[in-house]
A and B are shown apart, each in its own frame.
Chain A
Amino acid sequence: MEGTPDRDIVIAVGALLGVEIPAARAEAIARDLGILAARLAASAVQPAVEDEPTDAMRALR
């Protein structure tokens, strides 16, 4: 899929955090992240500039 992150990026992030991510698993993670990112980008609901995490606690009042 176009835009899917390369598995080497996933492996590199793992290495940065000190965890070895096997190539086959990295491939699957990259594929799943690409699909998820595409779905979220196409979603009608997107954060606005002013949105921040603490808004959730206000919304729960």
Chain B
Amino acid sequence: MSDPATWTLAEASAAIAARRISSRELLRACLARIAMWQMETNAFIDLREDQAWQMAEAADAALAGGQAPRGALHGVPLAHKDMFYRAGQVSTCGSRLRRAWRAGETATVLSRLDAAGAVDLGTLNMAEWAGGATGHNMWFADARNPWDARCASGGSSSGSGAAVAARMVFGALGSDTGGSIRLPASMCGVAGLKPTYGAVSRHAAMPRAWSLDVVGPLARTAEDCALLFAAIAGPDALDPTTAEAPAFVPPVRPDGLRGTVIGVERAMLDSADAALRPALDGALAVLRELGATLVDVAIPDLEAIFDHGGIISACEAAAIHAQAMRETPEGFAPDLYQRMLAGLATPAVMYIQALRLRGRLIAAVRQEVFGRCAVMFCPTIAVKVPTREASRTRTAEDVGRVHGPLVRLTRPFNMLGLPALSLPCGFDPDGLPVGFQLAGPPHAEAGLLAVGMAYEQEAGWHRRIPGG
């Protein structure tokens, strides 16, 4: 039998349902991977082994007692970015200021995963207050890329990307305000789904910028993301933005993509570093071979979308942290603090104009892009995975230079509120992963995931594992 920790979540789920493996055996396999990879990646902030054993034993006892699995996640070990609160437990949010802060309530997404029978192995590293695209963290040390520890893991859900890629857990929750699920997914070579704004509850999850924040999964495949998304999506009375969230049922993998029109965002594709093009062009070739029809599309007013998204992000983050910036400025990393000063100084009218324009920008993209295609293709990141040294930021100017190019192709989908799935499509000449995005109209997650499932079955990049 192959190492169970290297299975996909769907394979592990099927094995549990068929009683071919127990939750405790899966947990033991994950703990062996953690013993191998934690020093290399620094993916975990707090490994909660005792809690995980209790949950795994409960999952096994339920099946031994004759109960059916509670769902696809029954007994499956997961871990999550350290910003989803669990009542009574520490949630650091990657910040020195919350090193010992205990949450008073439990995040709806964690409650839903608990109800689905999932096993929670602990909390994962993240950028301080989810405010960075690289995975650096001066308080808890950087998360490191399992493909090359000298390289950035991507952020802000840095530990989520590294832990899933190194097969330490079968899946992880992250959050995405400007790319924070898709960037670590792409840089670490795993799948990451940024859902439609309002599709998943943000209750008792740390806010970065409430108008843009979404919670979503990172996992080994699109199929695994679908299983996790099904468990967390849907209305929650504790988060009014989810009031109109539809129910989600994981799609069946299609035999091919005949009849599917995929729009290729030509300007975004052409902006990619030449070293990334073979992998990206290879992904397009696979989609074409599966029968998809490819057409060129262009997001209207892309620069304005990017700028307005940046304004909203900067202003809301500064508002959230204004009191702490006044009272304990030494509690922030200097570069993050310097950058947040710009949010404080941005005129209120500039922020309000960005919010007022949002509906108009979304409507234009729905008409001009998704009037022509069901799914849109573009790179996740236009530049190669940077080394941690080259992407370490010390000043606000450093942050703009390093983080700006990384979020160039991800932030627009936060401003637009649209779903986007990042999938691996190969490696650059230095052996670091390359990823692409499939974006869609509001609440088109099932369609994106179905295309992704067809793609990954054919391309097989998810079967490549760091270190072997």
Q: State whether A47 touches B353 (Cβ < 8 A).
A: yes
CA distance A48 to B355 in the complex (A): 12
Contact of B356 among A10, A13, A51 (CB under 8 A): A51
The answer to whether residues A55 and B307 also contact, given A29-B341, A44-B301, A45-B301 and a CB cut-off of 8 A, is no
Contacts of B203 in A (CB 8 A): none
Question: B303 contacts the other chain (Cβ, under 8 Å)?
Answer: yes
Q: Answer yes or no: A56 CB below 8 A from chain B CBs.
A: yes
Residues of B within 8 A of A21 (CB): 341, 344-345
Query: CA separation between A48 and B366, bound complex, in Å?
Result: 19
For B322, the chain A residues whose CB sits under 8 A away are 17-19
Q: Are A60 and B442 in contact (CB under 8 A)?
A: yes
CA distance A18 to B323 in the complex (A): 9
The reply to whether A56 and B355 contact each other, CB–CB distance below 8 Å, is yes
B379 contacts the other chain (CB 8 A): no
The reply to whether the CB of A23 lies closer than 8 angstroms to some CB of chain B is no
Check: B108 CB closer than 8 A to any chain A CB. Answer: no
CA distance A42 to B185 in the complex (A): 35
Given contacts A56-B358, A56-B362, A60-B196, is CB(A18)–CB(B326) below 8 Å? Answer: yes
User: What's the Cα separation between A47 and B346 when bound, in Å?
Assistant: 18
**Once the chains bind, are B359 and A58 in contact (CB under 8 Å)?**
yes
The docked-state distance in angstroms from the alpha carbon of A16 to that of B255 is: 61
Q: Are A59 and B366 in contact (CB under 8 A)?
A: yes
Tell me the bound Cα distance from A13 to B329 in angstroms. 17
CB of A51 within 8 A of CB of B359, answer: yes
Q: B20 on the interface (CB 8 Å rule)?
A: no
B residues within 8 A CB of A59?
Answer: 358-360, 362-363, 366, 417
Instruction: List B residues 428-444 near A (Cβ within 8 Å).
Output: 442-443
- Chain B residues contacting A52 (CB-CB under 8 Å) are 356, 359
* A53 is an interface residue with CB less than 8 A from chain B: yes
> A19, B325: Cβ atoms under 8 Å?
yes
Known: A19-B344, A61-B442. A28 touches B396 (CB 8 A): yes
Known: A19-B326, A56-B359, A59-B417. 14 other contacts (CB 8 A): A17-B326, A19-B341, A25-B396, A28-B396, A37-B350, A43-B304, A43-B307, A45-B301, A47-B356, A51-B356, A51-B359, A59-B358, A60-B198, A61-B244
22 pairs from A and B in contact (CB 8 Å cutoff): A19-B325, A19-B326, A21-B341, A25-B396, A30-B345, A37-B350, A40-B304, A40-B350, A43-B301, A43-B304, A44-B304, A45-B301, A51-B357, A52-B356, A54-B359, A55-B359, A55-B360, A57-B359, A58-B359, A60-B197, A60-B198, A60-B442
